[in-house]
Amino acid sequence: MRRTLAYSKKCVKEILRDPLSYIFLLGFPVLMLLLMTLVNRSIGSGYGPTMFKPENLTPGIVVFSLSFTMLLAALTVSRDRGTSFVLRLGASPMKRHEFLMGYTLPFVVISLLQTVVTFVFGVVMGAWSGYTFSFPGILLAVACSIPCSLVFIAFGMIFSIVFSEKAAPPACSIIISLTGILGGIWMDTEKAGAALAWTSRVLPFSHMVNLLRRATALGGDMLTPLLVTCGYAVALFVVAALLFRYRLFGKS
């Protein structure tokens, strides 16, 4: 565990040195909340899309912003691969799962911070719009954001190993786009046609958004989206672990 924490500290230092990390992980969600709230207020009460209401918009923005941790994770691991740093560490006493956890832990912490900051600003925007969030609902949503962040972190790990440092970010952008389109953040996918609705049910993004929205509201079926999200997180991390073992370091 000490080796894992030590490696996590190394990753945190690398992340904090990059100013783009603050822009994408903290500034972007706040800006999106502000812009969408202004759009909803300009349309007028009762006329705007239900997705733009504070109680729906804030959890949706949380999930969308978590997708950027995937990009940061992919850049961090692929950068280490590009400099052969990971290969040199392959001769160290650290085990393969310790490397995987060493990369994962910093992004889980960052994701939690990102979620808390987004909800704090969402509460402010909600008060401005006349909506009051439930504090227990926010706490539950923050807890439910952990498996959501793990899905994106695992995607980032996979892309960083399968693709090069230059190809990993475009691959991540595909998942970011799918999150926005199929997550039901900006539109109701169930009313967008049978094919789009079916695709959104198969992929995890709409389930993550529904999970956080229902947790925030303390109502609705949370078990189904939670199981789907956790199932994807476990499956993706199994793939990431296998890639770490057989492709990143070679079988040992």
Instruction: Read off the pLDDT of residues 213-246 as tens digits, 9 standing for 90 and up.
Output: 999 999 888 999 999 999 999 999 999 888 877 7
| Alpha-helix residue ranges (DSSP H) falling in 83-222 | 85-89, 96-128, 135-162, 168-182, 194-202, 205-217
* Rounded average pLDDT over 161-168: 84
Per the structure block, which two tokens stand in for 84?
Answer: 């052969």
Confidence of residue 37 (pLDDT cuts 50, 70, 90): confident
Q: Work out the percent of the chain whose per-residue pLDDT is above 90.
A: 32
For 66-104, give one letter per residue: b (16+ CB within 10 A) or e. Answer: bbbbbbbbbbbbbebbeeeebeebeeeeeebebbbbbbb
Spatial separation of the C-alpha atoms in residues 63 and 85, rounded to whole Å: 31
Q: Where are the domains of the chain?
A: 2-248
Q: What is the pLDDT of residue 96?
A: 67
Identify whether the C-beta of residue 205 lies closer than 8 Å to the C-beta of residue 63. Answer: yes
Residue 233: predicted pLDDT: 96
C-beta separation of 90 from 249 below 8 A:
yes
pLDDT in tens, 41-84: 777 655 556 777 888 889 999 999 999 889 888 888 887 776 66
pLDDT score for 44: 60
CA distance 77 to 19: 18
Per-residue model confidence (pLDDT) at position 143:
95
Please state the φ and ψ torsions of residue 18, each to the nearest 5 degrees. -100, 115
- Integer Rg of the chain from CA: 19
CB-count burial class (<10 Å; 0-12, 13-18, 19+) for 244 = buried
CB 77 within 8 A of CB 156: yes
